[in-house]
Amino acid sequence: MTHDLLSLLRQHRLIELNHQYEEFMPVWPTHGKFFCSRAEDYPAGDGNYNCQLSLGDHCGTHVDAPVHFIEGGKTIEQVDVQQLTGRGRCLDMSHLAENADITREMIAAWEAEHGEILAQDIVIFRTGYDEKWRCRPHQAAFLQNWPGLSGEGAQYLIDKGVTVFGTDAMSLDRYSNEAHPAHLAVLGADCLIIENLANLRSLPTAFIFMALPLRIKGASASPIRAVALVE
């Protein structure tokens, strides 16, 4: 059985869905930034090279745990990581206007063309904002005006049995929606949100999605390494 699984995996092409972690990478202004410093190095006579990292738990491509918006919700080490492996569905919403809502009707129209979204599908929205990703001081375009999932759109997918929601933007909610209806609906249903995905232009409408968070006790989120497997 193990050999069969390996053979099946090797028949698929792997697509990287992460942004690179580097100093000056864009982060939400109130969140912890990313730093990488040399802890030991050859010129210092240490005989090896290793680094010390400092970063916020929502830095870069990451997954939100329910506690991020739900008091008493699961922290990241309590999340069932099996949720983060499954059939991915990439909904191309890059044609939308800035700061637009992705509505229930838009999702249903996409399904009519590309096939029904099913329970346990991992639903990812392509807004095109991964292509705006720039390091500071050129991050302004990435940090404003992205489209996002409406509360009713989120509830429609939750009712269908979707438990993981992803976006290439900084947040699943649209930029100016300070009520955060998508976050509250998704995390309130004990589901997960993945943000700052990359390279979504390369995805078909259906694929195998895989991502694993770090097991950080008490954290509200974790960096992930997300990949897609396509035939």
CA distance 231 to 10: 10
Q: Which residues are 63's β-sheet partners? A: 194, 222
Catalytic residue among 68, 138, 180, 183: 68
Give the chain as a 3 state SS string: CHHHHHHHHHCCEEEECCCCCCCCCCCCCCCCCCEEEEEECHHHCCCCCEEEEECCCCCCCEEECHHHCCCCCCCHHHCCHHHHEEEEEEEECCCCCCCCEECHHHHHHHHHHHCCCCCCCEEEEECCHHHHCCCCCCCCCCCCCCCEECHHHHHHHHHCCCCEEEECCCCCCCCCCCCCHHHHHHHHCCCEEEECCCCHHHCCCEEEEEEEECCCCCCCEEEEEEEEEEC
68 is catalytic: yes
Catalytic sites, residue numbers: 68
